[in-house]
Chains A and B, each alone.
Chain A
Amino acid sequence: MVNLTINDTPVSVPAGTTIIAAAQAIGINIPSLCYLKDLNEISACRVCSVEVEGEAKLVPSCSNVVREGMKIHTNSPRARQARKINVELILSQHDCRCAICSRSGNCKLQKISNDLGIKGTLYADMQPKAPIITDWTTTFPLFRNPRKCLKCMRCVQVCEKVQSLGVWDVSGTGSRTTIDVSHNRVIKQADCVLCGQCITHCPVEALRERDDTDGVFAALAAKQKVTVIQVAPAVRTALGATLQTGETPVSPETIVAALKQIGFDYVFDTSFAADLTIMEESTELLQRLNAGELQEFPMFTSCCPAWVRFMKSQYPQYVKYLSSSKSPQQMFGAVTKTWFAQSIGVNPADIYSVSVMPCLAKKAECALPTMARNGVADVDASITTREIIRMIRSENILPQDLTAVPFDSPLGTATGAGVIFGATGGVMEAALRSAYYFVTGQAPKDELFQAVRGEKAWKEATYSLGQATVRCAVVSGLANARKLMEALIAKEVQYDFVEVMSCPGGCVGGGGQPISLQDEELATKRSETLYALDKKDALRNSYDNPVIQELYGQFLEKPGSEAAEHLLHTDHEGWSMPLAVKLQKKK
């Protein structure tokens, strides 16, 4: 242990602790902007600089570790002045029109500036010149604004270290240094998988999703349109904070009430489609397993479109091992515009189908040419959790004033298996529950498969399903996925079934989720909500879902049937994606 004093308070911390972390341990919060524990400790913003007795210069507290006998002052006149001036310098390059910024109230720069009481500045405005901005495409689901960027490098780090993609990099040198797509590519040429982790780690609004709410409001206003909205499981775990109900999650039924109030005709649950995905995916797994197709390489889940984009751009030769099942969003869209449209007697073209997702990749997915029939997209708009929050707020809806309403019938009926889709391991567990039933004819015991739960980056479990043994692995975060792929290719590991979710912790930690001003990683906490919902659900296995049974009975015959194949499966080769730079060079 190392002993030191911070603001005259003695503290003892393990060797190797950074000054900022040591201060935190005794409740002294050193303001910072670029610092992200373990991920970005590069002292770029210099806001966290503190006075260390005996040192000539101020010392950044995020990138330096404590030493025995150190005497640190976080609020000395010199530290205070340096902090304020450095924030003012950052502000001089920042578009400070907070009133038209979606991060207002949830912006680290705004908060620190307000906290420091900065009321004006002597510095000239130095925002980047206009043409550099207009070059950014407006049609890509991810949008970058260099006039907001602090050059904190968090996006570079998270994309490189957590997702192993390196889409972002420092661009140029000198005073015009900025962040841009690496290797001088433009974003549409890049192997960006649209996980959105750069957005949720951006301290300001330099990165955000493309806002698609205007189209949704237009559809709500159009008389002839029947509006259908599906809500992904992870969304219900994350609304509380931003809807000002504190950290308590808003119940799914309250969300339904809010969406009804906005004016959606039908409010459904994506968990229904997750149940449907399970029926198809576990059937496919058993088929492939029995056909001996998984000897060399496992079957991978395909419900995460960012993971599909990753596979296509990084490991194109292994795309065939992805399950052909569509993601729940797209299964939902397909059923909505066929079976459901028929059942309510509406022309599919008159249905406007919206999904609320914790995700940006879903925006790209629903626009794929393979996700439409007769020129009509199965899902017309996919909006993020953040966008739906903005819609609810713009309608002046206060959750506490609402009376809970259940999801609409029929596509609002889901089981606990569909709900846990939003957490890492959830798809695997849900699939195993059904596969177990398909093979043994018996319902699995409760929590039989819980070894695949939890925040561990790479989980393994082996289960017997009748005669067959299924070796499973679950990873979240694409750097972990890459490690797993490399291990599989090197034949260091062997599995039959692998679940991959691109965002650490799964969809609950998705790139479309509300952003923590305190830089908390909330995936684990949010996934507890999903498992609690699963636990109290009367139906916990997808095959028990009565609407699913009805759907197969009336329309699709059985899982894996030709009709199901046509409606619920897709060809991942039916569209193209820019390859990783490494692979492009090979070509």
Chain B
Amino acid sequence: MQRENSPEMEIMDNITWEIRDNIGILTLNNPPENYLDRPDFLPINTLKQWTSEEGLKGVLFCAGGKHFSAGGKLENLFKMISANEDVSARMEAGKSLLDHLENLNIPIVVAIQGICFGGGLEIALACHIRICSENALFAFPEINSGILPGLGGTLRVHELTGFPASMKMILGGDMINAGEALELKLVDYITTKSGLFDHAFSLLKKMTYDRPLDVIHGVMQALQNSRKLSRQEAMLQETRIFCELALAEAKKRDASGDATGRMF
């Protein structure tokens, strides 16, 4: 990926953050495999601080180098366990990182190239839209070490692909290429390796450029509701958000005297 570094780039735990055109860019920067050293790969407060930047309209999650991420380093995990470290607390912290990404009130797109395994795949699954290059490979290899994805990946993969395919991945440890991933709805788009970053970035721009933050937040809220609330409650909230936005828009039109009879 061709990227020039901007001077305002921040770095924490091999992860960089910068903002370009109101889009935040989170980059895993631990090449070549972009291993995650710990389940809690970033302090939650850092992530919260980065993503709450004023005026931020979207987030792009990507990785430098040939691969997205080979996931957690299992030796590290087993070392932590033998050193009597509180691994479950670290897993909880990792989960809350992914929950934070998933619950963002602005869209988050992930750009995936090369290997996307284990914890790397769990990160990708927490994002709202997944774009991968033709050479991307996906797997949950945890089963080969006698464990399973522990950051919510089992639930999220099941939501996207249904029961049979997720069983094959989690229990079988099957490796899946980009074409199969698209068919299984594990990813939403496939693009060329060189065009990956631009495709993801321009999709985010297309979705957010002309949209006021209120509208972006409204759409995100309505979408998140459909996962969290009952069907009827989610639809009722949708009507409510619509009315709030319509009220604001009507006031704005009154003020500017714009009475164009557009319809939708």
User: Does A pair with B?
Assistant: no
Interface residues in chain B, defined as those with a beta carbon under 8 Å from any beta carbon in chain A: none
